[in-house]
Each structure stands twice: as C-alpha cells, then as structure tokens.
Structure 1
C-alpha cells in the first residue's frame, strides 16, 4: 500500500468518524428512500387515476350513444359525429356496432361482440398504415386500446379509446421522478453535508479545547458571545466547568501552601518539645509538663485534619439524604438559646432579629454547626464591647457584627481552606471555620454573601437558602 493510499484511507476513516457528517449522509439516504417510495406510490396512483378517467369517458360515451339509439337515431348518424362513416376508426377512438341481424357497422372487431364490460385490446387489432406499422407507433404497450362492450337497442355496441397518450405519460413519469429526485437528492445531500460540516467544525473545536484542557491549559475558552443553539450552550457549560476546575486547582495549590505554612511551625515546635522530653528521659528526669504540651500540640494538629475531613465529607453530598423541612425562625431561636449566654459572657452583646421566616429543606445539625463557626469567628476577631446580631428575613439567615470587618477584596479568599490574613495568623485557629461554612452553604445550594453592615463597620454573612416555602413567623 502506497503512502498516498494510506493517507487517503486514513482521511476517509476520519471523515466517517465525524458524527455530524455521518448523520447528514444517513438523513440523505432516508430522504432518498422516502422519495423513491413516494415516486412508486405516485406512479401507482397516477396509473389508477388515468385508467379510471378513461373508463369513465368510455362509459359516458356508451351511455350517450345508447340514449341516442333509444330515441330513434341511426348508427350511421351517430358514427359520423365521431369519425368518418366509411372507416369508423381514428387514431384516438373508435366505435363499432353489430346489429341483431348480424350486420357490422364500423371497424369489425372479431370475438368482442359476445363480450360484456371493459376489454383491453392488443395493438394488432388495428393497422393504421404501413408506416405506422413499421415504426411500431401503435404498439407502445401490450394493451394499447381500452374498449367497452354492451347491449344497446338493436344490437351490440363497442366503444374504444387509444391508450397511446396514457402510455406516453406513464413512460415519461419514471424519468421525471428520477430527474427531479436526483436534483432534490443532490440539493439535500449538499445542504446536509454543509450543515453537517458546520456542526462538525464546532464539535472539532470543542474536542480540540478538551485536548488542551487535558494537557493542562485551563485558560482555554470557546463559548461565543451569543448562544444560538445547544452546541453554544455546551460550549458555555464547558467554559464554566473549566473555570471552576481552574479555581479548584488554584485553591488546592493555595491549600497546600497554607498547610505547609501554618502546620510547619507547630510541627517544628512539637518536634522540639519531643526532643526536649527525650533528653529529660535519658537523664532519668520525668517531664510530665513536656508530655502534656506535646499531647496538646498533637490534638491541635488532629483538629485541623478533622476539620479538613469534615469539609471533604460535606462536599461529597452524602448529608443531603438527611435534609428535612425546617423553619428558619425555629433554627434561629435554637442557635440563640445555645450561644447567647456564651456571647454575653465575653462582654459582647447579642440580639436576635426575625422579620419573616421561610420553611426550607436542610440539615439542621449542619446549619447549627455553620452558625456556631460564624459566632466563634466573630468572638475571635471583634472587641469585647462588640454587638453580635443573628437575623432571619424570608429565606435569608445570617450573622453580623460591628467589629473591624474584612477588606472587601478578601471576601472570596477568606472562604478558602487554610487561608488566613496576616493579622489573623497570631490568633488561634487554622483558617478552616469559614471554609466549613462555605461547604455547608454549597451543600444547601445557598448563596453565601459577605458584606459590610449598613452601619459601615463590621461584617455581615448571609445564607440565602434555596427551596423557599413561604411561612409566617
């Protein structure tokens, strides 16, 4: 096999693998099949209609002649109105009459006068002239004439009509169908291949983008400015997925950096503590305080990893099975009952605001955990004279304080695991509180909104929960 043949076969194989082009070709074949079937049915229908029309004309002619004869008209006078009295035969029609006495008027047709009804006559019944006989114009088909035989007053009447025009039309129909069908098939195939090529070009663009994404290029974008069809919607979805994947990977990188940054120091201190305890043991001196300090540092590290595991389990979506209808005012009262005393013991004031509460589908335990984290975060970063407010309005529940707040540019970052602003690194914690809150909000398909309160200072964090059902407080 030559190189050119190999590439040609490979190119044809590649074309055949293009689903859009295959569908265009398949639809063209289906259209061709429908066209052929329609042509065959039309041919049968036209043939039947033409035969019925000829039969009706023969019957009308027969009835008219029969009526005229019953009114006293002679055969000679009737024959003269159709053709010459001498031949009583033309290239398109004929009539023939055999009287009860045996006399025949018109063109004699043996063996027909004893029949009744419609009869198909072969071409050899009539010989117009030698030129026509040599050219075979009278023999276009096996039944070139249609006749009707019946009794009339005084004898038997035969009326006939040539099938030449009918046969010519029927012989022309297949060629007309083939020509028009061929033209329509070419137009359909060309249009189908053009539309298929357009769709395939867009699919190939999506495939190329997926290859780039698989290679690690998460900046690839293919969505058009205006969505016109499902492929454009698919492109938008692909871009959204790529954007989220890039965000997730960046968060993983940041998490790795933050873990290395925040856990390296306590691990180093833990190692130093263990080395010191080991030296004390080698000298035979018990260092119970050193062991207790090491255990405390170990517990702190385990709490960090437990928090990370909790976030991971929440993000898996398994807790959705435990969702139940829950009124937000009931939840707010329960949170207030648990944490109001804790907040006020620190010197801070607490307020509960409920305007109108919705009923939502939620995991009660997780939502309480989320607001516990928010309250703990507020206690850690606000002064002792601060005010903490738990509020509910419709399907929104949140917590706000009048502390120092967070710069707006850090709102998205503080929700990432292990992210801590520099001023917060000296305070206890590992930067997982708000990340856990974000995971719980995502599980409930809630929008988590960080903003400054209307007073201008502090921080407000709102849960805008989905699946709202109106309910009065």
Structure 2
C-alpha cells in the first residue's frame, strides 16, 4: 500500500509542489526576519543617538561636573545589562558610567559584553563620541532584539512544521482517494481482460478529470463489447448461412463421385459444384472487403473527388437495367461540392443501393436517385423507391452482415450488400438514414460539412 502511494501521481505532484511552497514560506519568513531585525537595530541606533544628544546638549559649556552628573544619573536609571554608559577624560580615566571599560575610538561598533567588563554573554551596540574634552560612550544590549528574533524564528519553524504536516496529510488523503479510484479502473480493466466485457468503471457525481477519463474508457468498453458481439454474431451468421451451401456442395460432389463410378455423365453436377463454390468464394471476398474497409486501410487513397459524375455514370449504367425489369430509374441531382474520399468505394456504395432497389422491388416501381445540399453545406444523396419497403422493426438490422429479410431469401445474394454500404459510409464519416418513402423505402447517405470542399468549378 505504501509503495503504491509513493508511486502514485498525486504524491509525485503534491511533493514538489509542497516543497516549493515550503521553500517559499521559509524564504519569505527569512526576509521578514531580516526586515524585523533591521527595524529593531535601526530603532536601537536612533534611541542611542537621541540619548547621546540629550546628554551632550544638557550641560553648560565646559561644565565637566554637570556632564559627569548627567552620565551618572542615566547610568543609575538603567540596568547595565540593558543600557551602558561610560564617560572618560582625555587621559582615558573613567569619570562616570555603569561599566568599567569601553573600547576606544568614535562612531558605531558592536562589542561583546566581556569587552565592556560585563559577565553577560550578550553583545552590545555602542556609540562613542566627543563631549567637551571627554569621550562619551552609550550602548544597548541586543537581548531584546535577539528575543524578538528568536520568537520570529520559532514562529517560522512552527509554521514550516505545521505546513509540512498539513501537506503530508493532504497528500496522503488525496493519494489514497485517487489510488482507490485508479485501483477501481485497474480492477475493471482486469475483469475486462478476463472476458467480463460487461464490467464498467463506477462514476462519481463530482465530474472531475478521473470521471471524464472513466466515461471515455466506459464508452470504449461499450464499443469493444459491441464489436466483440458483432464478431460473435458474424461468426454465427457465417456458420449458419454457409452451412447450407457447403452441405449442397458436399452433396453435389458426392453425387458426382457416385455417378462417375456408375458411368453416368457428371458435367452438370460439376457445374453445380462450381457455382456453389463461386457463391461461397463471393461471400468470403465480400467479408474480407468489409473488414479491409472497416480497418481504415483505404483511407490512404482519399483525395478530392467530384461526386456528381459518379452519380451520372451510375444512372447511365442502371437506367437500362431498371427498364428491363419494367421499372423506372429517375435522376434528380443538385450541384454538389467536392468531397475527400475514395471514388471506387463511393461508386460501389451507391451501386449497391441502386441494385438492391432494382432486385427487391416489383415491376412498375419508380426508383429515384437524388441529391440535396443542406444550408450548413452538408449534402445528402438518396435512393428511394415506391416498392414494398422494409418493416420498421427490421431497418436497423439490414446493415448487419449476412442478414436477409425472410422475403429476400428466395432471391440471389449473400446479405452483405448493405453491410458494405455501411462500412463505406463510416469510412467517409457519412451517416445513413433509412425510412419510409410513403410508399416504399428511402435510404439517405448524408456527408457532413467538414468533408465538403469548395464547389466544383
């Protein structure tokens, strides 16, 4: 548990962030400490300067006795461990003061208590200057400023310690909470890896980034489950739909063997076997083509193409076929923008839709190939007919591989035409809408605006 927390992203993010804040706190505290110490030292110097000025300006000129008494009174009024005073004559002899000695020279200096003849360990800020024919020294202990500095240092230390403890506690809480959710995601993915495709990551109501990630993973798992179910269904459908032709092929081959042994002609049976094998091969080729399209491999062949000439070519090709079936094929096309796509696949997609309409509609049916440009520059290409249509309950299933309506099982085909249409549309980012034509069926392939290029010249 501790190792997983140490390796968790939350801890690795919070640790440097907390350290940065701690360093900032210490630097800010140190700067504040220096400012406070500087302010206290400045005030101490100002007070010493004022005391020196009061003493030197409060005695009559050349009145050494008056000056001596002033120094004695100030020395008596202040304990020598707080304030020190020292007055000596020109020969260096002590005249007054509460210390026994003082360093020579004038101006500011910091001296230890021992240099002033004191037993205290404190240091002193002293100021020395001339007063008449004497030298006056006044000073103050750093004890008060040191005490304030110690308080500031203690406060900073406690604040840093408290901040560190809070960061550690907050980091652990966040890491534990995040690790539980990550463990939940890992557990779900582990179950999915063992084949439990219905497993999903539980979501929370706070809609944070982990929730967003979980939603995306759940959506991916939904698609995965759908694909696996689709593959399973395809396997079942292939086994079901190819079982009959394979049985017929086996039966035909066996009959040919028996007739050959009996000396009967077998050319007709061999032709039947060839036709059955050709139909099976066609089915497998269609399945492989759909798989290739769904893999996106054909996207490398995309280029700008004009869709109108494709529709015109298909109309010219199938108009006579429809007339032979005593049907009418009509073409109503609006000017369309160029799109990015694969010309061969788009041609096959619309050819499949037209062929389906011709194959499954009775005589006298009117089949319309039309295109419409929408206000948002998207456009739709529709194939509609006035035939029997498809029941509403069956419409979503006609795009499944090998699925055929009951009424269509007596007609030639392998149930992959609309599956191929769906695969090509998905490859081009187009959507398919299937609905009533009142009467008949209407299938519309809608291309989104971002696939549309500048209008054809």
One fold, TM greater than 0.5? Answer: yes
Is the aligned partner of 1:351 residue 2:330? yes
Cα 1:35–1:433 shift into 2, 3 Å: closer
User: How many residues are matched?
Assistant: 446
**How far did residue 226 of structure 1 move?**
5.2
- Report what 1:49 is aligned to: 35
1:58 Cα deviation (Å)?
Answer: 5.0
Identify unmatched segments of 5+ residues in structure 2: none
Task: Show the 5 A alignment for 1:299-338.
Answer: 299-338=278-317
Query: Does the 8 A contact of 2:86 with 2:102 survive in 1?
Result: no
SS of equivalent residue, structure 2 residue 363: coil
Q: Residue 230 of structure 1 is aligned with which of 197, 209, 215?
A: 209
Tell me the residue number matched to 1:405: 389
Q: Over residues 310-345 of structure 1, what are the superposed CA-to-partner deviations in whole Å (9 max), with x where a residue is unaligned?
A: 011111111111111234434433433443333334
Corresponding residue number in structure 2 for 1:112: 103
Residues 150 and 437 from structure 1, CA distance in 2 versus in 1: closer, same or farther, beyond 3 angstroms? farther
Q: Which moved more, 1:405-414 or 1:424-433?
A: 405-414
Q: Secondary structure at the match of 1:390?
A: strand
In structure 2, what is the equivalent of residue 6 of structure 1? none
Structure 1 residues 229, 102: CA separation in 2 closer, same or farther (over 3 Å shift)? Answer: same
Name the residue aligned to 1:260.
239
Cα pair 1:79 1:85 within 8 Å, conserved:
no
Measured against aligned partners, the alpha-carbon deviations of 1:377-434 in whole angstroms (never above 9, x if no partner) come to 1111111221222222233223222221112222221111111122211111111111
Question: Alpha-carbon deviation of 1:120?
Answer: 1.9
Matched, 1:426 2:426: no
**Corresponding residue of 2:444:** 461
2:340 aligned partner: 361
* Per-residue deviation, residues 169-190 of structure 1 (Å, max 9, x unmatched): 2323343233233333333332
In 2, the alpha carbon distance for the partners of 1:54 and 1:80 equals 30
Q: Tell me, what secondary structure is at the counterpart of 1:167?
A: helix
RMSD: 3.4
TM-superposed deviation, 1:65: 6.6
**Residue in 1 that maps onto 2:359:** 380
Q: Residue 17 of structure 1 corresponds to which residue in structure 2?
A: 4
* Post-superposition offset of 1:249: 2.3
For the residues of structure 2 that align with 1:165 and 1:67, how far apart are their CA atoms? 23
User: How far did 1:306 drift?
Assistant: 0.6
Q: Give the 3-state SS of the residue equivalent to 2:164 in structure 1.
A: helix
| Cα displacement (A) at 1:368 | 0.8
Q: Tell me: CA distance 1:34–1:225, structure 2 relative to 1, closer, same or farther (3 Å).
A: closer
- Normalising by structure 1, we get a TM-score of 0.81
Mapping of residues 225-304 of structure 1, within 5 Å? 228-304=207-283
Q: CA deviation at 1:442?
A: 1.7
Asked if structure 1 preserves the Cα contact closer than 8 Å seen for 2:18 and 2:167, the reply is no
Describe the shift of the 1:33–1:248 C-alpha distance in structure 2 as closer, same or farther (beyond 3 A): closer
CA distance in 2, matches of 1:277, 1:359: 55
**Could you tell me how far apart the structure 1 residues matched to 2:388 and 2:346 are?**
25
Name structure 1 gaps, 5 residues minimum.
1-13
